[in-house]
Structures are given as C-alpha cells and as structure tokens.
C-alpha cells in the first residue's frame, strides 16, 4: 500500500491543481503525457475526448508545409498570393493584405511563433489551392499518422463545427514534428523572428523561459477551447511530450504542464531503446485515373482458338509451260532439251551491215522471247521430237550449267581509266555480235587492276579536332565541387563536460540564445574517452563564427569546426 500511495500521490496533487480552477470554465479538461523516445503513454485524462484544439491546429498546418518543402512542391522562398479570405481572418494575425505576395518562410514563422491566423490560412491556400482542400489533406494526414479522433475544417484552428481533436492525437503530432522534421523543429523554440513585414514574438515565450529543457511546441486559445498547450522538453537522455486542453489561464495551463512534465521525467527510465516512428504514408497524394470502358459482349465472351496441324510445305519445281499450236498435243520436255533449245533460239542471226559506230567492249543485248517467236516455236518442236531415252536420262546440275557457261562470253568491263575514256570516237572498232571474244583486249588498261588495296581504317576515335596551330598540351582544368548541402558543413564546439546532462543543458541554452544564427542546426553530444563533447552541427560558416563571437563576448568556450 505504501508503494501504491507513493506512486499515486504526485498524480493526485496534479489532479487537484487541475480540477480546482477548471470548475470556473466551461471547456472540459484533458491531458496526455508520452515518452517521446518510445511513444508509450505515461499519463492520460480524457485523452480521447474530442475537443476544440484551437491554434494547436497550426501544428498540422506547419507539418504539411514542411512536407511540401521536402518533396519539392514549394520552396521557402516561394511567394504566396494573399487572398481576401486570408487577409480577413481575425486576430491573432500578421496583418497581411489582399493581393500581397510574401515568401513562405515568413508565413511559417508567423504561424509557428506568433500563431497568426491569416498566415496559416495563406499557407493552406497556397499549397492546396483552397482552405477546404487543405483541410481535407490535413485530415488525411492525421489518419496516416495514427490520429484517429481528429478532423480538420480549417488551417488556423478557429472554432468551427466539425473541427475537433484530442489531447492524445495532438501529443502524437508533436512527437512526429520532432522526429519527421528535425531540421525545422528549432523554429518552435524561438522567442522572436522576422516575419517579413513585422518582427513577431512567441506566444509560448513564458513557458520556454520558465521550464528548464523546454524547446516547444505550440499554444492555443479560444473561448470554446480554453487555454491549450502541447509542449516538449528534454532532460539528459529523456524527452517528454505532453498536451493540455481546457486550461483556465496561461499561468494555470503552464503550471499544470510543468507538473505533468516533472512527473513524467520522474517515472521514465534514463536508458531505453529509442523507437522512431515509421515514415508517414501520406506526404504526397497520388492521383490514379482509370479509363472506364464498357466491355462489349464479343470481348467478354470466352473464345477458344485451336490451330489445326498442317502438312510441311512441299518443295516446288519450276515448270516451263509452252503454249502449243492449236493442232499439236501438249508435251513436257526434259531439262536438257529445254536448255539446248533455248540456247539455239537465243543465238542471234547475222546482223545487217550498219554504217553507225558500235562499242567494241559491249555485248549485244538478248532479245525478249516475244521478239523471236518463230525461233522459240521451232526449238520447242525440236525438243519434243527427241528420243524418249534422252528425255528419261537423269540430268545433273553440272550438265545444265556447263553448256551455258561454255557458250557465254565474259562481259568486257567498261573503261575506267582516263586514257581510255579520252580516246576519240573514230578509234573505236566496229564489230558485230559475233566478235564478242575480242572485247577482252582492253582489260589490261583498267585503273582498278593496278590500284593498291585500301589501308586498314584506324581504330582511333577522334572526339574533337583542335584548331589550326593548337598543338600545345591543353591546360589543366581545375574541378571545383560544391557541398550538396549548400555550405552547411560547419559547426561549433563548446568543449568537454563531465556528464551528458551538463552538455545537453549547455547546448539547449545556446539554442535559446542563438536565435536565427542556429536556425537549421543540430545539437549533438559525443561520448568520448575524455568526456562528453558538446557540438552544434549543420551551420554555415558565417553562422558558426557569429555564434562563437557571441560566446566569446560572454566568456564562454566556443570553437568553429570546419568541414
């Protein structure tokens, strides 16, 4: 009993501190405390009750803005057009005017630090096109992150029917902001920032200053919601995230939050295996369009195709058909007889004397079959009248080709040298078709016969030709590479310390004092043999030098570390 009483006593004191002031307000109270390292709950009261989240809504607005930047949809320097709807939002507001264009970085600072309603609405309209479309994306993302009892209707958190969330869901969202976008998380611990058209101050400045280790996240207030807060704090290796709904005032809300965080730090162990949340499944929406085509009965009807077996193709034989005379019977001659008959039919008769000039090196062209019809008919009749034994004798391929090759004359090549081409016309001999063998007399004068074999082509590939006179060795080219992170390879070293808690506290104090110089930086404590080394990484060279200059003015150790 003693152990149970000792365990329940701090929670009972917290409950009494909560319920006493909460009677005077109409907004119900809810709280949820979580170990940020594991995501396991530590304390819950009305954690699943659907309540008005007020400006805690802007946590999801900023989550989607960070996601849009990371996937390349927008950039920090993208200029958003301010609509009349955004400009007309009630306070708290930045003071944007309709038709004005302002960079996204300033809208994010105004929404996160000042909790400006007009800036939050402008972010939603600039990313999704309208606030309703952006609210739908917010709800879908909430479902993907495990926020089961949350529904969004706007980007700023003003009271609206159907716009609700729970203490547990907002604690889940606060943890996801820390793990999913650590490069932007330091924004929630800044006390002030330049929002482009004005310098804005944090609505959470009092709690950040009063509670050691606090580094975020977001406040919220409306009459219907009361005073809400989602906070995160770190002590040594422990990190706690908690949410409070329905506070009666800023001071009472901060006091309750401090008590919840203290109790959480006292309950969780120092050494625990960190369980990082899985990457979200709905950072970018994919639209898949399917063509809707009504199927026809012929297309849906099952059909079976069968290929019938076919016989292999037979080798065709070339048959020469000769049109017989009307009174003569049709007969098929042997191949040898056909060749002899065609050779005899193709033999030209004596050409009549001609007074013109003919080329001695060209053969007489063969006449078409229709030009010597009588000779063909005579050859066919002679072939049919041959003996049957000769027709039945086997014909070899060589016997078919030999007579043709023996009787054919080699065509004389055309003159290719300039000497032959330049001879006068009267020197060309005149000959008939019977003088074909004499055409080879001029074959020794061909230019191709005495030309040398071409040289083998070089395998060298010439990529680029130099200009005239450019025979000197090219100058060495210096290749300069740029860091992919845009120069954020610098950091600051704050020295060695005896414990990790001491190093963490020093880094946290520096983060709170560094302001814009440490924006985008990462705190890191390295456990070395000489002690715990505290460093700030991911800075530009100018930012690192500025941080060390400020530390030197306070007589604190600081060293700039280069890449």
How far is residue 460 from each of residues 323, 457, 465, measured CA to CA in Å? 65, 9, 13
**What is the distance between the alpha carbons of residues 90 and 157, in angstroms, rounded to a whole number?**
11
3-state SS, residue 266: helix
Strand order in the sheet with 531-539: 522-528, 531-539, 490-497, 559-561
Q: For residue 119, how far is the Cα from the chain centroid?
A: 31
What's the token pair of residue 132? 């309703």
Residue 223 region, left (φ>0) first, then alpha (ψ -120 to 50), else beta?
alpha
Helix or strand holding residue 120 (H, E): helix 117-128
8 Å CB contact between 540 and 472: no
How far is residue 395 from each of residues 334, 342, 399, 406, measured CA to CA in Å? 8, 16, 7, 17
**What is the distance between the alpha carbons of residues 238 and 396, in angstroms, rounded to a whole number?**
103
| 202 in catalytic set | no
What's the token pair of residue 138? 């917010």
Phi, psi of 192, rounded to the nearest 5 degrees? -155, 165
| 327 in catalytic set | no
Q: Which residues pair with 79 in a beta bridge?
A: 103
3-state SS, residue 172: helix
Q: One of 58, 93, 218, 238 is an active-site residue; which one?
A: 58
Q: One of 55, 186, 202, 543 is an active-site residue; which one?
A: 55
Helix or strand holding residue 524 (H, E): strand 522-528
| 409 in catalytic set | no
Q: One of 83, 93, 114, 115 is an active-site residue; which one?
A: 115
* Active-site amino acid positions: 55, 58, 115
């Amino acid at each position: 009993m003693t152990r149970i009483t000792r365990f329940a006593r701090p929670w009972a004191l917290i409950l009494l501190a909560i319920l006493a002031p909460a009677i005077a307000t109409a907004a119900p109270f809810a709280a949820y405390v979580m170990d940020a390292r594991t995501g396991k709950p530590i304390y819950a009261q009305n954690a699943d009750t659907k309540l008005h989240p007020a400006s805690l809504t802007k946590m999801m607005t900023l989550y989607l803005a960070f996601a849009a930047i990371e996937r390349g949809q927008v950039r920090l320097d993208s200029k958003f057009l301010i609509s009349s709807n955004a400009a007309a939002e009630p306070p708290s507001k930045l003071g944007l005017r309709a038709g004005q264009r302002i960079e996204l970085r300033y809208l994010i600072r105004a929404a996160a630090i000042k909790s400006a309603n007009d800036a939050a609405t402008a972010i939603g309209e600039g990313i999704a096109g309208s606030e309703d479309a952006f609210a739908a994306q917010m709800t879908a993302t909430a479902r993907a992150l495990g926020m089961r009892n949350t529904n969004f209707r706007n980007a700023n958190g003003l009271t609206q029917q159907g716009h609700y969330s729970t203490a547990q869901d907002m604690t889940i969202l606060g943890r996801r902001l820390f793990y999913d976008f650590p490069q932007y998380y330091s924004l929630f611990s800044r006390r002030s920032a330049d929002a482009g058209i004005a310098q804005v101050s944090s609505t959470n400045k009092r709690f950040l200053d009063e509670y050691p280790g606090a580094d975020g996240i977001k406040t919220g207030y409306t009459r219907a919601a009361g005073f809400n807060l989602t906070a995160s704090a770190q002590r040594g290796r422990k990190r706690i995230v908690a949410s409070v709904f329905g506070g009666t005032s800023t001071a009472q809300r901060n006091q309750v939050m401090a008590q919840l965080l203290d109790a959480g730090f006292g309950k969780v162990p120092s050494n625990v295996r960190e369980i990082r949340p899985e990457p979200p499944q709905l950072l970018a929406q994919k639209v898949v369009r399917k063509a809707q085509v009504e199927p026809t009965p012929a297309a849906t009807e099952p059909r079976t195709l069968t290929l019938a077996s076919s016989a292999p193709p037979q080798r065709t034989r070339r048959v020469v058909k000769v049109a017989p005379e009307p009174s003569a019977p049709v007969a098929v001659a042997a191949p040898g007889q056909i060749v002899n008959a065609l050779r005899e039919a193709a033999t030209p008769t004596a050409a009549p004397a001609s007074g013109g000039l003919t080329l001695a090196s060209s053969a007489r062209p063969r006449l078409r079959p229709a030009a010597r019809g009588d000779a063909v008919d005579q050859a066919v009749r002679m072939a049919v009248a041959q003996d049957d034994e000769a027709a039945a004798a086997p014909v070899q391929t060589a016997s078919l080709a030999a007579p043709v090759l023996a009787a054919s004359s080699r065509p004389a090549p055309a003159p290719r040298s300039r000497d032959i081409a330049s001879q006068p016309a009267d020197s060309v001999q005149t000959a008939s078709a019977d003088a074909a063998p004499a055409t080879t007399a001029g074959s020794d004068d061909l230019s191709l016969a005495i030309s040398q074999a071409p040289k083998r082509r070089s395998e060298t590939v010439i990529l680029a030709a130099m200009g005239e006179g450019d025979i000197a060795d090219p100058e060495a080219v210096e290749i300069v590479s740029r860091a992919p992170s845009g120069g954020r390879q610098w950091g600051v070293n704050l020295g060695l310390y005896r414990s990790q808690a001491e190093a963490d506290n020093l880094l946290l104090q520096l983060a709170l004092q560094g302001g814009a110089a440490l924006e985008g930086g990462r705190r890191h404590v390295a456990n070395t043999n000489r002690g715990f080394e505290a460093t700030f990484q991911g800075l530009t060279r100018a930012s690192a030098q500025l941080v060390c200059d400020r530390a030197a003015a306070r007589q604190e150790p600081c060293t700039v570390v280069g890449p």
